[in-house]
């Protein structure tokens, strides 16, 4: 074996090839006498144009997930699509794509200011808000606005257990001619669930309430309107005197004020124009000093009603204040309203049973 190791065949071939190339270059230089630069791809392929170029900071601009993208400055602003043929880089196109903008933009806050309207278009008007009393923020409407609608008659009779005092007829009530006729009004359902009526009545049965259940119906304002906001405070206060007169004439055992605003008008007129304080208001039964229709034994000098004993001393009708049953009054949940109404229903059930027992006893005495 020779003392020095033999080179591999592949390496020997590469050296031979390199020597051949060098010999060819030497021969070419000898022919024209000028040295030549080594052969390269310079001038044929510009590799720098095909290399990836990162951001200005030197670090590569990685493509991030839309979920991790930062929120856009304004949720209402919409990016205009780039004109056709405009050349943009991959990162710029991904950032300005309307589809990606919609996917990554957070939902607009309801309190955020609306985006500016395009030129030539009128801005949309905001929706009407609802006040704390439940009625929408509409303005006062004069009586002539709904003068084409008929007035709603009262449902009254002697010996009533409760006379219900509503605000005024709504448009649906005025058109149908029956009290609390709007399908979203809870009056008839609360009347039944509280026990005030043993059965669920329909608005078309409103005239039968006095004879069937000793219950009456009236309103503080007679004219119809869309909601309570279309009534003025002065006409509500003017209706208090008529309510007092009806209570004196028909002498119900109790009156139920259906709505806080009605009781506020009654309180304001009775207390010399002073509004009721927050700590003075409460739902349910009121103090005896707030009884309605208090008068002398002669009926207060007005025309009497057959069947009412005006000679008997009377201390006025007890007052129960209940939440409004209108579908617009959303300050209290239906369960909370039902709880208040149940206080009236329990009293009505008790008094109705006492009346029936007294009538049965009187019938037994007359038969002996």
CA dist 226 and 328 (Å) reads: 11
The pLDDT assigned to 170 comes to 93
User: For the ranges 8-17, 55-64, 173-182, 333-342, which has the lowest average pLDDT?
Assistant: 8-17
Provide the 3-class DSSP secondary structure of residue 260.
helix
The secondary structure of residue 224, as a DSSP letter, is: -
**Mean pLDDT across the stretch 251-280?**
96
% pLDDT > 90, the chain: 53
Q: Using DSSP, state whether 256 is helix, strand or coil.
A: strand
- Encode pLDDT of 109-147 as tens digits: 444 444 454 555 555 544 444 444 444 457 899 999 999
Q: Domain 149-365 falls in which CATH fold?
A: Uracil-DNA Glycosylase, subunit E (3.40.470)
Task: Give the pLDDT confidence score for residue 50 in this predicted structure.
Answer: 65
CB contact set of 29 (below 8 Å; sequence gap of 6+): 35, 36
Global pTM reads 0.63
CA dist list (Å): 319 to 37, 155, 340: 115, 18, 14
**Predicted local distance difference test score (pLDDT) of residue 92:** 43
348, 162 contact by CB (below 8 A): yes
Q: Tell whether the model's pLDDT for residue 337 goes beyond 90.
A: yes
Quote the percentage of the chain above a pLDDT of 70: 61
> pLDDT band at residue 57, thresholds of 50, 70 and 90?
low
pLDDT at 302: 64
Nearest to 188 by CA among 70, 18, 76, 325: 325
In degrees and rounded to multiples of 5, residue 273 shows phi and psi of: 90, 0
Contact (CB, 8 A) for 174 and 224? yes
**Which pLDDT score is estimated for 110?**
43
pLDDT at residue 85 tops 90:
no
Domain ranges across the chain: 149-365
pLDDT tens per residue, range 134-185: 444 578 999 999 999 999 999 999 999 999 999 999 999 999 999 999 999 9
């Amino acid at each position: 074996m020779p003392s020095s190791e033999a080179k591999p065949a592949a390496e020997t071939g590469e050296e031979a090839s390199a020597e051949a190339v060098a010999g060819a270059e030497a021969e070419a230089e000898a022919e024209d006498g000028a040295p030549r630069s080594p052969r390269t791809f310079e001038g044929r392929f510009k590799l720098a144009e095909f290399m990836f170029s990162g951001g200005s900071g030197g670090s590569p601009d990685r493509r991030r997930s839309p979920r991790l993208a930062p929120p856009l400055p304004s949720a209402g602003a919409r990016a205009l699509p780039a004109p056709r043929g405009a050349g943009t880089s991959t990162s710029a196109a991904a950032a300005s794509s309307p589809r990606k903008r919609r996917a990554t933009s957070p939902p607009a806050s309801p309190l955020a200011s609306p985006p500016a309207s395009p030129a030539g278009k009128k801005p949309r008007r905001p929706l009407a808000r609802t006040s704390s009393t439940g009625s929408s923020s509409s303005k006062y409407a004069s009586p002539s606005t709904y003068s084409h609608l008929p007035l709603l008659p009262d449902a009254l009779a002697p010996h009533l257990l409760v006379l219900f005092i509503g605000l005024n007829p709504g448009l649906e009530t005025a058109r149908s001619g029956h009290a609390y006729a709007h399908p979203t009004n809870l009056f008839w359902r609360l009347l039944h669930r509280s026990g005030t009526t043993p059965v669920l009545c329909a608005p078309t049965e409103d005239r039968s309430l006095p004879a069937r259940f000793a219950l009456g119906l009236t309103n503080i304002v007679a004219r119809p309107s869309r909601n309570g906001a279309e009534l003025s405070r002065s006409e509500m206060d003017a209706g208090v005197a008529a309510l007092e007169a009806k209570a004196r004439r028909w002498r119900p055992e109790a009156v139920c004020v259906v709505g806080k605003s009605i009781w506020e008008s009654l309180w304001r007129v009775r207390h010399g124009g002073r509004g009721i304080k927050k700590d003075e208001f409460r739902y349910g039964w009121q103090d005896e000093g707030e009884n309605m229709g208090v008068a002398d034994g002669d009926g207060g000098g007005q025309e009497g009603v057959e069947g009412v004993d005006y000679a008997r001393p009377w201390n006025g009708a007890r007052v129960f204040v209940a939440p409004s049953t209108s579908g617009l009054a959303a300050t209290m949940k239906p369960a909370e309203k039902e709880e208040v109404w149940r206080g009236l229903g329990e009293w009505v059930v008790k008094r109705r049973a006492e009346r029936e027992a007294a009538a049965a006893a009187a019938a037994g005495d007359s038969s002996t």
